[in-house]
Amino acid sequence: MTDVTSAASPPRSQWRDVWLQFRRHKGALVGGMVFLALIALVVIGPWIWQVETNPARLIRQRNQGMSLAHPLGTDQLGRDLLGRMIQGGKVSIAVGLVAMLIAIFIGTTVGVVAGYFRRLDGALMRVTDLFLALPLLPLLLVMVLLFRDTLSGLMGPEVGTFLLIVGAIGVTSWMQTARIVRGEVLALKEREFVLAARSIGTPPFRMILRHVLPNIVSPIMVSATLGIAGAIITESALSFLGLGFPPDFPTWGRLLYEGIDYLQQFPGRVIWPGIAISLTVLSVNYIGDGLRDALDPRARGR
């Protein structure tokens, strides 16, 4: 008998099943490839695509159209648009990823604590509701305006603005994650294995790390992907309103904002960054859609 069981197919891991299901979602697969390609472009791009930095030479090649030397043309100061797009993409995607990490960290912490410790539940959920009632975009604008100069003075304009924007977006977008995580934890707490773990005296902290968190990874992953998309859109909206990164520090939103002045003569300067933002967000949203299907065991195998 033992031979039969060992000869049967090897135990299937959960992540293999998830991957098999994810692969069947065409949109998610294409989205994943596009997103990886974009990340590769902005990471490897600066080494392959060298840009001219000497201002004297730059000014002679300003406002050029598309050519072999400058596939997307140059801007009013002669800077190569493709080079700036690559630079900007690095910042935009980094903002998306870091802001998502902050939001997920706060959201998961609040959600787990609220779901696990009944005494803190009411207070924490009240705070979550308060945050949900805040008008977020106006507050983000105000926060950026207030702290931009202070933080720029402390840490330099690039790092300061980056930390400010990432922190502001993270602090204002954790609420959905917290609600989802709390719901999952509440359901998980009633399960037998948690009772068993508690009966052998597992302390709460280890209980959360060993038994609760691994079981709520799926909803966290889904809201993480959607969080990247939201953060990228919010950052570019801030830059578009003129309250994002400083001018010499391009992001896709900033490039789009600068291109608006030349909309009539050179529409490409607005279109390319806009396409980059839309493509990134679209691919990330498709990944999230695919993950949601793949991580849901009820939908799997259908």
Partner 1 sequence: MLTYTLRRLLIAIPTLLFISFVIFLLLDLAPGDPMSQVPLTVPPDVREKMRIALGADQPMAVRYVLWLKQFFWVEPAHWMNATFGTHFAEGQQRILSWQSRSPVFDIIAQRIPQTLTVIGSSYVLGVLIALPIGIYSAYRKYSWFDQLGTFIAMVGFSVPTFFTGIVLIVVFSVKLGWFPSIYDTTLRVTDWSSFWMQVRQMAMPVTVLALYNAAQISRYMRSAMLENLGQDYVRTARAKGLSERVVVLKHVLRNSLIPVVTVIALGIPTIFGGAIITEQVFKVNGLGQLLITAIHGSDIPMVQTLTFIFAVLIVLFNLIADILYGILDPRIRYD
Q: Which is nearer to partner 1, 110 or 270 (CB)?
A: 270
Q: How far is the CB of 56 from partner 1 (least distance, A)?
A: 33
Judged on CB neighbours under 10 Å (0-12, 13-18, 19+), 259 is buried
Binding site for partner 1 (CB under 8 A): 27, 129-130, 132-139, 141-143, 145-147, 149-150, 229, 233, 236-237, 240-243, 256, 260, 263-264, 267, 270-271, 274, 277-278, 281-282, 285-286, 289
Characterise 11 by phi-psi region: left (phi > 0), alpha (psi -120 to 50), beta (else).
Answer: beta
Q: Which is nearer to partner 1, 101 or 171 (CB)?
A: 171
Q: Which is nearer to partner 1, 149 or 191 (CB)?
A: 149
Number of Cβ within 10 Å of residue 68's Cβ equals: 5
Under DSSP, is residue 12 helix (H, G, I), strand (E, B) or coil? coil
Q: Which is nearer to partner 1, 40 or 130 (CB)?
A: 130
The helix (H) or strand (E) run that includes residue 287 is helix 268-295
Q: Which is nearer to partner 1, 135 or 301 (CB)?
A: 135
Rg (Cα) of the chain, in Å, rounded? 24
Under DSSP, is residue 80 helix (H, G, I), strand (E, B) or coil? strand
Under DSSP, is residue 119 helix (H, G, I), strand (E, B) or coil? helix
Q: How far is the CB of 285 from partner 1 (least distance, A)?
A: 5
